[in-house]
Chain A
Amino acid sequence: MHNPQLNNKGELTHLLSTEGLPAAILTQILDTAASFMEVSSRDVKKVPLLRGKSVFNLFFENSTRTRTTFEIAAKRLSADVINLDITRSSTAKGETLLDTIDNLCAMDANLFVVRHASSGAPYLIAEHLHKIGRDDIHVVNAGDGRHAHPTQGLLDMYTIRHYKKDFTQLRVAIVGDILHSRVARSDIHALTTLGVPEVRAIGPETLLPKYLDKLGVHVYHDMAEGLRDCDVVIMLRLQNERMNGALLPSAGEYFRHYGLTPHMLAMAKPDAIVMHPGPMNRGVEIHSAVADGPQAVILPQVTFGIAVRMAVMSIVAGN
């Protein structure tokens, strides 16, 4: 099947999803990110790879951390970064997504970083670029609807590899609202491709999608049981808006069952790491003693995220 992320030589030309990417490409991104980690520790935190290139940040949905880390990553590659304020732009005046893209192409864009509330929007843009013969312009998905958030998935993989070295011996638990989480989906595909033998999903039935067994994921509704002997615990943010719906009774009730407390974390291996894509809701999905504790690697995740985004942008821009 045609994979819109790869060019005819099988090289990564857009990053749209971790799904369908071969292990070799995932590993290439992680290895390249390791080299960029070194760049970020220098006095001059810049390399000339994307000098003269224009990176457009198109965030149709709010985000501070992801947009900022993409901006830092692009600047450390020496690219020019243009942040579009979509809420005040012509999209708000009724321009279609693809008309916006055509206009930005006319401004000599080289790379689009796209976040959109609709699943598939970055695919639509990538297909459109191909159709108008602009295969020299690249798309990086910064989160689309409930579908995918591949750079978050990759930075999670980088974090796991950094602390645990070998994927093939690990038990990884993802806890929380997996149904609405594009991070969880991107993590699950990447973990499976990189050879993690046991991926667990922990959460209430209302927040776990039905397709998990098909992906080989083990489902747990009991937090203590699900965390037992895990090497990695990935907490997900509980989106407040879910609370108002029928999916959950209350934040307090949720925390009692699925909040990561020191007591709960003790079920995992003593050297287990705790990850969270941010922003955290302390006292809703994670206890402050865990979030600030020695097993949390939540801030290193942010630092690794810059190097991973540098790797992704420089790889796609070169293919």
Chain B
Amino acid sequence: MRRPPYHSERRGPLEVKMTPMIDVIFLLLIFFICTASFQMPEEILPTRFLLPGTVASETPIDPEVLDLDEIVVKVLWRDGGPQWQINDRDYTSLAEVRAVLEAAARIKIDLPVILDVDPSVPMENVIDVYDLCRKVGLERVQFAASVAA
């Protein structure tokens, strides 16, 4: 029985079996169906914790003086809504808080910010303030803990 030569340059049209190809397509389809998730992609907000033994000494804060050594932002929860206090001055909107933080950032960009959050404040508002500090450029944000160390 004569067979066509296999190492010749002239080959006929390609004869491909479709069955395995269809198998692969089905497999890929099933893979993508199983792994499809309609969640929004997650991002992270990093924090920088100060460990005990590395905390700088506390300096008293004079709220009137512009030359600040650190800012204390208190987030309170009153009447089902958040309220903010920066160095003991009350603010009722996040935009005002942002303005104060931007002003402080213009003076000193590496100003330490201490976030003192009321226990009943939802994480949404906590992250709002923390995100605001990061947006304004203040990277040194610490969370005040009300637990005896």
Question: Do A and B assemble together?
Answer: no
Which residue numbers of B lie inside 8 Å of A, CB to CB?
none
